[in-house]
């Protein structure tokens, strides 16, 4: 949008608005109420609901303000008898076929149609004809559908196409018979549920929260998602001590993700109130024995005694402290403090899938925010698969390409779904991602890189040329495939490609909600696999918050430890080795902060009281420290811990909870920007590693299935019954009329039973 201003007169008042602004936005910004259903910011225009009609002088008929771009000297009337009559008639037509079932509709109370009917509806309905009855049904385990309630605004189809790039939900038939549906009646998409979120009526509904509660009964708490590193802002709806649902509806929350959430964020919450949550502290008094419930006092005392004994006998470094990238900054800080100041061990690590430490050490430019990605001109994605692992990033890329005209350059060994948006797809051999970093650094090694990656050298030339010719933002993204040296090289790219009118932004595709925060708070940066290898050799006791990742489990050496303490939500493979298990509180039960892959520090807020006897992770560590003779001196609030983080960690300096209050204006961590440096050593290292790769690896030519990562069952998603259906391939049930959960038994393999109705 240009900075040039034009004059628009709305209701006899003059406004200076930027040229190219949309009339409906201008009116709303200036507090002229314009009702609409189909208009949705940043989606393709529809102009089908015709509620936003306004009178524009010199135009013959009433105009839809959502399709009008402001021009100089435009004179607009938004309120008049004529307009009111038109809007009232429009709403009457919309309601002609809408059933009067608000009492059973899950949207009742937060329904846009209901709200506009209060404003523009007539008291009596003049249509006495039979309504066009259509039965309620399910479109997938997650999405329930009542076609009769639909007003055909097509927000869902546009969101599915433009945000998700899936086109899974579409309008069928014509005219008055148009219905929103899907191919074959069953949705085989990524089940993000964004169609549910944007639906202004009760047509598409959350199948997991069906008929559970009503929106005004729920307490809405703004919090941050606990799954991937995008850090979506969402609203937790709780009733009493139960977390009922999660939405990102803009009436409750307005974060960096807008109304976007993915399947995990939206539906992956039932673990919070799950019956398998650990209820009390558990102690295994004898190796090989059972975990026995104990009181907090006893468990803390027992742990302190044992740790004291081991440290006295074997020295401080025989104890290791392991954190998890799923924990809050507060918990990770307390763990680090516990390691450094209480047991004074050097062995502290975070159990992340890959470390971004080399990247942040050489960081040569600012991190790209999701807003930057949306407005970027060129996006380079090396490895990774954001549509499965960081869905918001994938959505921003798609919109940047589709709505912003950005160029996407994809360097991947797999033709991932984003390939459809890619301007250039460099299809490389598996395991040769590091060669891409080599190619970015300069053309000296093009022959080697191209040979190993199995591409033409000219493709790499085009890649560098596209970046260096871009006017605007370039975002460099990379996944976990890059080696430490390659990360350092990519981190220095802002210097390599520096140029007039061009900004090079970096966006690491970290895997977990607080991977970046865990790294910010970690000083030693030891790798967790090194600590696990040393188990039983130099390390004899371990204190773990959260479990190990499945890839660490096979040869974890936990059985060789004399003493293992774990803080967990559920009994996992890791707690099977534990001598003491503390019940930890989940993200919905605590206050804290997560740092996402934009470097935004975002608040996690307490929605319900900790279930059973669980306690926040940081509090457990503080209590244990107190028993061991070191009082952290925190008041019983997470903000006190964060105050100390702000004092001790330079990147977090001056941050306070009150400053983080507004989720619509998140604050970025001030990561130290490294100065430009010679990369010869790193490049030589990559060259050596790349040269050792084989020349004849077979390229993967199949696009991976939707949900191959999203639907995987982890400790948390395992607690959502619907996820089991999806993980089993989302079988089509015999009847769409009732939830597939009641029809299909998953436990005994997929068994299609006779439908109940």
Partner 1 sequence: MSIITEVIESTRAIIQGMSVTLSYIPKRKQTVQYPEEPVTVQPRYRGQHLLHVDELGREKCVACFLCAAACPSECIYIEAADDPRAPEERTGVDERYAKIYNIDYGRCIFCGYCVEACPKDAITHGYNFELSVYNRADLLKRKDDLLITKQVQSKNYRVAFSDEDVDSEWKEV
CA neighbours closer than 13 Å in the CB half-sphere of residue 144: 22
Among 346, 742, 745, 752, binds partner 1 (CB under 8 A): 742
Q: Please give the DSSP secondary-structure letter assigned to residue 724.
A: H
Among 35, 99, 108, 404, binds partner 1 (CB under 8 A): 108
With beta carbons less than 8 A apart as the criterion, state whether 587 and 236 touch.
no
Among 217, 276, 346, 469, binds partner 1 (CB under 8 A): 217
In the structure encoding, which two tokens stand for residue 133, read together?
């009855």
Taking the mean position of all CA atoms in its chain, how far away is CA 325? 15
Q: Is 216 in the site for partner 1 (CB under 8 A)?
A: yes
Q: How far is the CB of 525 from partner 1 (least distance, A)?
A: 49
Piece in contact with partner 1 (CB under 8 A), picked from 19-27, 66-74, 205-213, 582-590: 205-213
Among 498, 667, 738, 746, binds partner 1 (CB under 8 A): 738
380 - beta bridge partners?
Answer: 409, 476
Residue placing its CB nearer to partner 1 in the complex, 214 or 643: 214
Residue placing its CB nearer to partner 1 in the complex, 212 or 639: 212
Residue placing its CB nearer to partner 1 in the complex, 231 or 740: 740
Helix (H, G, I), strand (E, B) or coil at 398: helix
**Contacts (CB under 8 A) with partner 1, residues 117-176:** 136
Residue placing its CB nearer to partner 1 in the complex, 242 or 573: 242
Q: How many residues bind partner 1 (CB under 8 A)?
A: 17
Residue placing its CB nearer to partner 1 in the complex, 213 or 700: 213
Give the residue among 636, 609, 657 at the shortest CA–CA distance from 219. Answer: 609
Which x/- pattern over 490-529 shows residues binding partner 1 (rule: CB under 8 A)? ----------------------------------------
Residue placing its CB nearer to partner 1 in the complex, 186 or 495: 186
Among 4, 12, 61, 103, binds partner 1 (CB under 8 A): 103
Nearest-Å Rg of the Cα atoms of the chain is: 28
Residues with Cβ within 8 Å of residue 5, at least 6 apart in sequence:
16, 17, 18, 19
Piece in contact with partner 1 (CB under 8 A), picked from 214-222, 395-403, 611-619, 670-678: 214-222
Which H/E stretch holds residue 313? Answer: helix 296-314
Q: How far is the CB of 743 from partner 1 (least distance, A)?
A: 9
Among 131, 211, 279, 752, binds partner 1 (CB under 8 A): 211
Written as one string, the DSSP assignment of 25-44 is HHHHHTT-----SS--TTS-
CA dist 357 and 183 (Å) reads: 45
Q: Is 589 in the site for partner 1 (CB under 8 A)?
A: no
Q: Calculate ∠ Cα 704-705-706, nearest 5°.
A: 120
Q: How far is the CB of 757 from partner 1 (least distance, A)?
A: 4
Q: Is 444 in the site for partner 1 (CB under 8 A)?
A: no
Q: How far is the CB of 275 from partner 1 (least distance, A)?
A: 17
* Sheet-wide strand order for 5-10: 13-18, 5-10, 74-77, 53-56, 63-64
Piece in contact with partner 1 (CB under 8 A), picked from 48-56, 208-216, 637-645, 660-668: 208-216
Residue placing its CB nearer to partner 1 in the complex, 206 or 352: 206
Which H/E stretch holds residue 23? Answer: helix 23-29
Written as one string, the DSSP assignment of 320-345 is EEEE-TTS-HHHHHHHHHIIIIIS--
Give the residue among 398, 444, 424 at the shortest CA–CA distance from 192. Answer: 398
CA dist 201 and 37 (Å) reads: 9
Q: How far is the CB of 313 from partner 1 (least distance, A)?
A: 55
CA dist 511 and 390 (Å) reads: 8
Which x/- pattern over 662-681 shows residues binding partner 1 (rule: CB under 8 A)? --------------------
10 Å CB burial of residue 242 (0-12, 13-18, 19+) is middle
Residue placing its CB nearer to partner 1 in the complex, 204 or 335: 204
Binding site for partner 1 (CB under 8 A): 102-104, 108, 136, 210-214, 216-217, 738-739, 742, 756-757
């Amino acid at each position: 949008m240009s900075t040039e201003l034009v004059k628009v007169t709305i209701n006899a008042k003059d406004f200076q608005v930027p040229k190219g602004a949309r009339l409906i936005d201008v009116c709303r910004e200036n507090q002229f109420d314009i009702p609409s259903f189909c208009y949705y910011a940043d989606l393709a225009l529809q102009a089908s609901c015709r509620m936003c009609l306004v009178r524009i002088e010199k135009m013959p008929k009433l105009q839809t303000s959502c399709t009008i771009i402001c021009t100089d000297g435009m004179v607009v009337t938004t309120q008049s008898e004529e307009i009111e009559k038109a809007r009232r008639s429009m709403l009457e037509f919309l309601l002609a076929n809408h059933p009067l079932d608000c009492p059973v509709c899950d949207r009742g109370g937060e329904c846009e149609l209901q709200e506009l009917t209060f404003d523009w509806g007539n008291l009596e309905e003049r249509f006495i004809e039979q309504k066009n009855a259509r039965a309620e049904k399910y479109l997938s385990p997650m999405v329930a559908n009542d076609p009769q309630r639909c007003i055909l605004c097509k927000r869902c189809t546009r969101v599915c196409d433009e945000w998700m790039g899936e086109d899974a939900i579409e309008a069928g038939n014509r005219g008055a018979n148009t219905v929103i549906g899907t191919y074959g009646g069953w949705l085989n998409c990524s089940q993000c549920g964004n169609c549910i979120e944007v639906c202004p009526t009760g047509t598409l509904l959350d199948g997991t929260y069906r008929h559970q509660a009503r929106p005004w009964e729920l307490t809405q708490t703004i919090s941050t998602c606990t799954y991937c590193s995008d850090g979506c802002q969402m609203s937790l709806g709780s009733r009493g001590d139960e977390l009922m649902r999660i939405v990102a509806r803009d009436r409750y929350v307005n974060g960096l993700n807008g109304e976007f959430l993915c399947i995990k964020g939206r539906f992956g919450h039932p673990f919070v109130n799950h019956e398998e949550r650990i209820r009390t502290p558990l102690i295994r008094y004898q190796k090989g024995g059972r975990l026995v419930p104990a009181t907090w006092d006893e468990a803390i005392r027992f742990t302190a005694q044992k740790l004291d004994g081991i440290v006295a006998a074997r020295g401080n470094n025989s104890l290791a402290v392991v954190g998890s990238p799923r924990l809050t900054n507060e918990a990770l800080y307390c763990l680090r403090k516990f390691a450094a100041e209480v047991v004074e061990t050097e062995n502290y690590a975070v159990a992340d899938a890959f470390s971004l430490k080399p990247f942040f050490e050489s960081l040569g430019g600012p991190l790209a925010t999701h807003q930057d990605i949306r407005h970027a001109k060129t996006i380079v994605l090396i490895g990774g698969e954001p549509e499965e692992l960081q869905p918001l990033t994938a959505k921003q890329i798609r919109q940047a390409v589709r709505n912003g005209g950005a160029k996407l350059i994809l360097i991947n060994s797999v033709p991932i779904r984003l390939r459809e948006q890619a301007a250039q797809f460099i299809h490389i051999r598996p395991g040769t991602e590091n060669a891409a970093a080599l190619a970015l650094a300069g053309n000296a090694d093009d022959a080697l890189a191209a040979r190993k990656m199995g591409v033409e050298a000219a493709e790499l030339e085009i890649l560098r040329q596209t970046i260096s010719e871009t006017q605007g933002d370039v975002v460099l993204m990379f996944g976990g495939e890059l080696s430490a040296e390659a990360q350092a090289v990519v981190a220095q790219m802002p210097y390599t490609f520096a140029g007039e009118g061009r900004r090079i932004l970096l966006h690491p595709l970290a895997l977990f909600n607080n991977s970046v925060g865990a790294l910010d708070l970690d000083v030693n940066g030891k790798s967790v696999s090194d600590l696990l290898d040393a188990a039983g050799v130099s390390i004899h006791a371990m204190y773990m918050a959260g479990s190990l990742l499945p890839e660490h489990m096979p040869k974890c050496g936990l059985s060789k430890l004399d003493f293992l303490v774990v803080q967990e939500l559920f009994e996992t493979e890791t707690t099977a080795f534990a001598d003491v298990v503390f019940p930890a509180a989940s993200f919905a039960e605590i206050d804290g902060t997560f740092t996402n892959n934009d470097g935004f520090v975002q608040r996690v807020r307490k929605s319900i009281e900790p279930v059973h006897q669980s306690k926040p992770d940081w509090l457990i560590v503080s209590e244990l420290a107190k028993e061991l003779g070191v009082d952290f001196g925190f008041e019983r609030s997470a903000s006190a811990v964060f105050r100390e983080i702000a004092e001790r960690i330079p990147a977090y300096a001056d941050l306070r909870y009150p400053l983080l209050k507004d989720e619509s204006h998140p604050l970025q961590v001030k990561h130290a920007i490294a100065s430009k440096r010679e990369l010869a050593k790193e490049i030589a290292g990559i060259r050596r590693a790349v040269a050792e790769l084989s020349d004849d690896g077979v390229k993967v030519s199949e696009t991976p299935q939707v949900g191959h990562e999203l639907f995987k069952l982890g400790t948390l998603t395992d607690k959502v019954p619907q996820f089991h259906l999806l993980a089993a391939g989302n079988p089509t049930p015999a009847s769409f009329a009732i939830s597939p959960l009641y029809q299909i038994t998953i436990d005994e393999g997929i068994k299609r039973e006779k439908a109940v109705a």
